[in-house]
Structure 1
Amino acid sequence: MSSTAPRFGANYTPSQGWFHHWLDFDLDAVRADLDSIAGLGLDHIRVFPLWPLFQPNRTLIRPRAVEQLVELADAAAERGLDVNVDGLQGHLSSFDFLPAWTQTWHRRNLFTDPDVVAAQAAYLRTLAAALADRPHFIGMTLGNEINQFSGDPHPDPDPITPGQAGDWLRTLLDACEEGAPGKLHLHAEYDASWYQDDHAFTPAHAARIGAVTAVHSWVFNGTAQRHGRDGTATEHHAAYLIELSKAWAHDPHRPVWLQEVGAPAPLIPAGHAAPFTEATVANALDCEDVWGVTWWCSHDVSRSLADFPELEYGLGLLTNDRQVKPAGRAIARIVEDQRAVAHRPKPRTIALVVDTGDDDTAPRRSVCAPGGEVFEAFARLTADGARPTTVLASRADDRDHLAGRGITEVVTPAQVL
């Protein structure tokens, strides 16, 4: 078990102009935002360049845009905040941001077209290299939930196979490593990777490729609808994803980053956001090997901006004018409490068997989704006071594997339900 204290941060959503702020970059406004984030006691931010603005042509990566990213990162460092950079945006809060050279008359597959992949690699390598000498630079995330472009329910997907997804991930992570050797480079998908049977990005990709496993926990995926705002499954959803990821990991103590988690209204009403935040983070921290928790998001989206889904406007720890909200106060309390004690969660000794068919492609992974037998059995065990983890069916009788993870009891969903 790692004894490293977990990190606490926020996904940085600029208070002025949202991510469109790159068009009218105002370093003073950024500094004010970062002051308000640092005031919560957080130690890092996740930053989102908009890909079409940074690489508007396949062979043009705008030097001034890269300079502004470095200026933002340096301003964060001045306030004690480390920085992770997501490169391919990609997709943010229901909006897609893809450069014109991948669309319409220039339409080509984002994941398999050789020219597109080479340009993506050059872009990520350039961003990583620009920050490589900064000690406060954590590393690159390839993009924000870019897996949503690979299939349903996206309205205009670029279909690929799991094999092609794996090749794409390795190619681009290699580019990040070339740009900034030795930094923490990773990829991050939304939960279709864990829950959708035919999805090209798989649990094995998430848990075996990159420096850490990233999970994004959103209870509007059917969890809160089925179990309510304060149901066991709802308050433990992030912890469930952390423990589910461990079934596929080769390293028994691979770090897991809860890279996105938030309190989405109306399923989590504004008046319940703070209790949900406290419960979600406490339960996540009851898992071993948590690299960190990064809340979505830092600041609310301004009501002057149109066409966002309603839930997106109020997810901030701070208001649009940088006032701390109840969820922000809850996070600040958690950070202060965690830094006062050693973080050493006990091993989870009971493991729930996960059988999704082939371990690499997981053709039956919907058993892990809300309503599926693995998901519901995990919630039942947790409600009964157990602290379950998960193990693949192919490893359920592997004594060395179980011992390496501290597992002493294995149960099937059928036994639980």
Structure 2
Amino acid sequence: MRQLQFPLGVNYWPAGKAMYWWQDFEAAEVEQDFCRLADAGFQVVRVFLAWEDFQPTPHKISTRCLNHLVAVAEVAANCKILIQPTFFCGHMSGVNWMPEWMLGGPAQGRFPVMSSGKLSHLEIRNYYSDREIIKAQKLQCREVAQVLKGHPALWGYDLGNESSNCVIPPNRQAARDWLAAVVGELKGVHDVPVTIGLHAEDLEEDRKLGPADAALYCDFLCMHGYPFYLDWVDHPLDTKVLPFLGLITNWLGGKRVLFQEFGVSDQILQQEFPGEIEEGGALYYRKALHLLREAGMWGAFAWCYSDYQPHLFGKPPLKENPHERYFGLFKADGSHKKAVSVFQEFAKEMKDSADCDVCCDACAAGEVSWLKGEDPQRFYDNPLSELIRLYNEWLVVGC
């Protein structure tokens, strides 16, 4: 992995394809997007391997999709940008996308399931405890790692996006055994950094795979945070909660933290900045980036690259979740919003500063006064109450 001082990245789906990208792949489209992102100062693009497309059966990985992924890596290298492929996708924008072989009978889960072109409510088999599924996942890891082995554009791997929204391990040991299996498969091919995309709900609840579990096998930790999704935050654009979530992740896991998702929908901005949506978005990102950096986060990835084109609005997940249509740093036509200039300025600051390293270890629990005396081993006894209590303390003495 190329060493980056402060990895500045973005989460990517194409504006005109969204989650249907791999079914209608165009390398020229990706090249245009990636070069646009590189020009805006981004160093890493997080891409998602749609599980159903990459693994249509437990025993078969799509050669077509593997070839597309290699093409993505080639484009990235040409644009002088890096990629972070995310496996087993999985949960995305309020819908769980699954291959048919991963599904059981009817079930009223929190999120609908998209499979074989249909949206329904079905049980998802638990891949933390089902040996046949773990075997299938290891196959996907192995074949993806083999085609990308040694590629100069490969920055690292991500084991899943907010996976606890799909299934929860039956117990903590099952989660750790799963991590050992899939991380071992990847590193057996090529020793590149591996992480997993945890989110705020993995702190609010004990979902049996938290920062301490991930830290046993992952090279670094990740956190996702959106204040407008947090019931215990007073303001939908509270940027202070972002570094707080990262600091708690570091405290619980003891490893550096990439803040892998943060962003805001234009629908939220319209409520808070009527008539000045782009200005509001730029302000939010500017505050968030500097707070994350000052708190010692290792890097930050925006959600997301682009608004989606209107022809997708009648399809999942944008039909069911209209706010997801407008999270982009770029508009659906490819023109940039004012927030893009914030990232350009931030990237320049990072490049120009001779002493821009805030030590990532500075956010270790032993060095943060407001966590002195707190026991990370007890956090999950009552996680939501602890999270709220610690946040209120941090607002007073820590931030």
Indicate whether the TM-score tops 0.5. yes
Aligned AA (1:12): Y
CA offsets, 1:107-131, max 9 Å, x none? 6322211000110111012112211
**Cα deviation per residue 1:184-219 (whole Å; 9 max; x = unaligned)?**
1111122121111x4222231244430001111111
How many Å apart are 1:17 and its aligned residue?
A: 1.1
- Indicate yes or no: 2:187 matched with 1:177: yes
- What is the CA distance between 1:227 and its match in structure 2? 2.5
Shift of 1:245: 1.8
Amino acid in structure 2 at the alignment position of 1:248? L
Indicate the larger mover: 305-314 or 3-12: 3-12
CA distance in 2, matches of 1:329, 1:240: 25
**Structure 1: gaps (5+ residues):** 152-158, 388-417
Q: Is the 8 A contact 1:356 1:365 kept in 2?
A: no
Aligned counterpart for 1:192 among listed residues 191, 195, 201: 201
1:109 to 126, 136, 141: 126
**Shift in Å, 1:92:** 0.9
Partner of 1:317: 329
Task: Give the 5 Å matches for 1:17-416.
Answer: 17-104=17-104, 108-151=125-168, 160-180=170-190, 182-196=191-205, 198-222=206-230, 226-229=233-236, 234-250=238-254, 254-269=255-270, 270=277, 271-288=279-296, 290-305=297-312, 306=314, 307-341=319-353, 342-345=355-358, 347=362, 349-353=367-371, 359=377, 362-369=380-387, 372-381=388-397, 386-387=398-399
* SS of residue matched to 1:258: strand
Secondary structure at 2:53 match in 1: helix
Q: CA deviation at 1:66?
A: 0.2
In 2, Cα distance between the equivalents of 1:365 and 1:13? 33
Deviations 1:356-396 (A, max 9, x none): 87718822111343xx2111111222xxxx44xxxxxxxxx
Structure 2 residue matching 1:259: 3-state secondary structure: strand
The 8 Å contact of residues 9 and 294 in structure 1, kept in 2 or not, is answered as: yes
TM-score, L = length of structure 1 = 0.81
Shift of 1:296: 0.8
Specify the SS of the correspondent of 1:319: coil
How far off is 1:183 after superposition?
0.7
Match of 2:309, SS? coil
CA–CA distance in 2 between the matches of 1:88 and 1:356? 35
Q: CA deviation at 1:150?
A: 2.5
With 61-70 and 260-269 compared, the bigger mean Cα shift is at 260-269
Alpha carbons 2:252, 2:376 under 8 Å: kept: no
> When the two structures are superposed, what TM-score results if normalisation uses the length of structure 2?
0.84
Q: What per-residue deviation string (whole Å, max 9, x for no partner) do you get for residues 3-55 of structure 1? A: 96201111111122112021111111111111221120211101112110110
Deviations 1:242-295 (A, max 9, x none): 211222234xxx32111111123444443411101000010000023x332111
Name the CA shift for 1:379/1:266 in 2 (closer, same or farther; >3 Å).
farther
Contact 2:196 2:222 (8 Å CA) reproduced: yes
Distance 1:293 1:358 in 2: 24
Alpha-carbon distance between aligned partners in 2 of 1:245 and 1:226, rounded to the nearest angstrom: 18
Q: What does the per-residue CA deviation read over 1:320-352, in whole Å, with 9 as the maximum and x for residues that have no partner? A: 111111111211111112211031337465422
Instruction: State, as a whole percentage, how many aligned pairs show the same letter.
Output: 20
- Structure 2: where are the runs of 5+ without partners? 106-122, 271-276
Contact 1:237-1:280 within 8 A present in 2 as well? no
- What is the rounded CA distance, in whole Å, between the counterparts of 1:108 and 1:310 in structure 2? 28
**3-state DSSP class of the match of 2:265?**
coil
Checking the alignment, whether the CA contact within 8 Å between 2:257 and 2:298 is kept in structure 1 is: yes
Distance 1:356 1:172, change over 3 A: farther
- The letter for the 1-side match of 2:242 is A
Distance 1:45 1:368, change over 3 A: farther
* CA pair 282-25 structure 1, distance change in 2 beyond 3 A: same
Shift of 1:141: 0.4
